[in-house]
């Protein structure tokens, strides 16, 4: 491992791991588990208006997941506890440890495969081993120095600082069966949906 000039920032040449515009009735993204030291990740759950009615949180199974930047597949993990399937992609020069990580994804790429920004690398599925898997979502992480010997720890980056408009809507309380989206007020109830297929939500 070596230090690299390539680090995640708001200047990074990235595109989103899921395209909101591909989803019917898309309004915005909600990180329903929040970004914290215990959960250094952005859980991509779409806030959808359900044909103009309010309000649904979830993503269709089979939603394409895309590489956020050019890179090389660093790991494809099929049995990480709790049964998450994870794809890790390294960006910049090999050995930098600059990583984007995609959880709850059925991979369509393999180890050491080169990918280009926007390439589909897998699809979302409902993960039965995920206690929070009531909601089909992408567990997305970014690291500045994955596995760095010098640092001793992986250094997570907050995706909301790299991608714009990821903090427009916030769920509260987080990690609970029922919650509200604070920006929508108290009188709006949220329905959790797990769509079996993308086509069903057209």
Interface pick for Zn ion out of 14, 41, 73, 99 (rule CB under 5 A): 41
Q: Which is nearer to Zn ion, 92 or 133 (CB)?
A: 133
* Minimum CB–partner distance for residue 104 and Zn ion (Å): 8
Q: Is 90 in the site for Zn ion (CB under 5 A)?
A: no
Q: Which of 8, 2, 53 is nearest to 143 (CA)?
A: 8
**With CB under 5 A as the contact rule, which of the stretches 30-38, 60-68, 83-91, 144-152 interacts with Zn ion?**
30-38
- The DSSP 8-state label assigned to residue 143 in this structure reads E
Instruction: Work out the end-to-end distance of the chain between its first and last CA atoms, rounded to an integer number of angstroms.
Output: 46
CB of 139 to Zn ion, least distance (A): 4
Distance between CA atoms of 50 and 65, rounded to whole angstroms? 22
Judged by CB, which is closer to Zn ion: 41, or 162? 41
The piece of 14-22, 44-52, 139-147, 191-199 that touches Zn ion (CB under 5 A) is 139-147
- Count the alpha carbons within 13 Å of 39 in the hemisphere toward its beta carbon: 13
Give Cα 72 distance to the centre of its chain: 18
Q: Is the dihedral of CA 161, 25, 22, 177 positive or negative?
A: positive
Of the candidate residues 7, 85, 139, 155, the single one contacting Zn ion (CB under 5 A): 139
**Residue listed under structure tokens 């500045």:** 144
Binding site for Zn ion (CB under 5 A): 33, 41, 43, 139
């Amino acid at each position: 491992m070596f230090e690299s000039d390539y680090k995640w920032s708001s200047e990074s040449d990235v595109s989103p791991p899921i395209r909101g515009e591909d989803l019917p009735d898309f309004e915005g993204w909600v990180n329903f588990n929040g970004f914290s030291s215990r959960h250094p990740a952005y859980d991509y759950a779409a806030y959808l208006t359900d044909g103009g009615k309010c309000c649904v949180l979830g993503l269709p199974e089979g939603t394409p997941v895309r590489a956020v930047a050019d890179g090389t597949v660093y790991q494809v993990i099929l049995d990480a506890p709790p049964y998450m399937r994870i794809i890790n992609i390294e960006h910049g020069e090999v050995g930098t440890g600059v990583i984007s990580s995609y959880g709850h994804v059925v991979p369509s790429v393999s180890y050491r495969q080169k990918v280009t920004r926007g390439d589909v690398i897998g699809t979302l599925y409902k993960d039965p081993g995920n206690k929070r898997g009531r909601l089909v979502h992408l567990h997305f992480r970014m690291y500045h120095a994955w596995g760095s010997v010098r640092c001793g720890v992986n250094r997570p980056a907050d995706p909301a600082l790299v991608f714009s408009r990821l903090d427009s809507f916030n769920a509260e309380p987080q990690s609970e069966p029922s919650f509200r989206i604070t920006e929508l007020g108290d009188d709006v109830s949220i329905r959790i949906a797990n769509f079996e297929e993308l086509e069903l939500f057209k």
